Amino acid sequence: MSETQHHLQKKLGWSLDERDPRFIESLMPLIGWFYDHYFRVQTSGWHYVSPQEKVLFVGSHNGGLAAPDMVMMMYDWFRRFGVEQPVYGLMHPKVWEVTPPIAQLVAKVGAIIAHPKMAYAALRSGASVVVYPGGAEDVFRPHSLRNQIYFAGRQGFIKLALRERVPIVPVISTGAHDTLIVLTECYNIVQQLHKLGMPWLFGIDPVVFPIYLGLPWGLALGPLPNIPLPVTIHTRVCPPIKFEYYGREAACDREYVNECYELVVSQMQQELDQLVKLSAKS
């Protein structure tokens, strides 16, 4: 890797200044076509959000690496509040390490590296932040769990909200996990094979190793990029969740953090159950 590439990799994701409203504006017609015609998105709950009040959006990831519900949610924000109104999304560090060209593009849309330093900086700048705590385990969870909120026990987002004294606004969706069909997750099996000498796909040690049906591969092995199937997506922005106590002391109290975590997961699951029933009727 050249010195210039190394500098770019180090810089990307570690600055709020990479966000480019003009670049976002140029993408709006294209994303809008997918929103209106490909996924035929139906959304609700945006009245709970004011761009003047910073919040921590917490979502459940769906649909493989394409994560169409996340893209559609961001489009909703820009459509309602304008491209100049900043919102930042936390993205897994491996994206910045493995695919700098893609990282460079998503940084222009507002993606920052998933690190506490950047999350605090974004909130303290007055912007809202979007986080999907479940990460790869969530986005590639088996199809049988498509209607389950799954954060893999990660509680960093709770500590972030408590320290920065911001409400959590859950974002849920249904349909996006049908844009590919995850048959099973076999990371543990592949990990054992790796120990016996089988190399990792592309030399990258993944967090998950799904087997799924989807475009363009048909049957895919591993966390490969995918083209989402044209499935109707329903999204909902839920009422803000505000905790009883905030501050550094609250964020350091393990029992209280766990209590807040269970509250968020429980409320998001209730909202998702309702959305699934509503979507089935429509």
Question: Any idea where the domains of the chain sit in the sequence?
Answer: 3-179+229-281, 180-227
What residues does 170 pair with on adjacent strands? 58
What tens digit of pLDDT does each residue of 131-168 get?
999 988 899 999 999 999 999 899 999 999 999 999 99
Structure tokens at 37: 């015609």
pTM of the model: 0.90
Is residue 186 within 8 A of residue 154, CB to CB? The reply is no
Q: How far apart are CA 122 and CA 195, in angstroms?
A: 40
pLDDT at 4 over 60: no
What tens digit of pLDDT does each residue of 205-264 get?
567 788 899 999 999 888 888 999 999 999 999 999 999 999 999 999 999 999 999 999
Please report the pLDDT score of residue 187 as a whole number. 61
Fold (topology level) of 3-179+229-281:
Glycerol-3-phosphate (1)-acyltransferase (3.40.1130)
Segment 81-108 shows an average pLDDT of 86
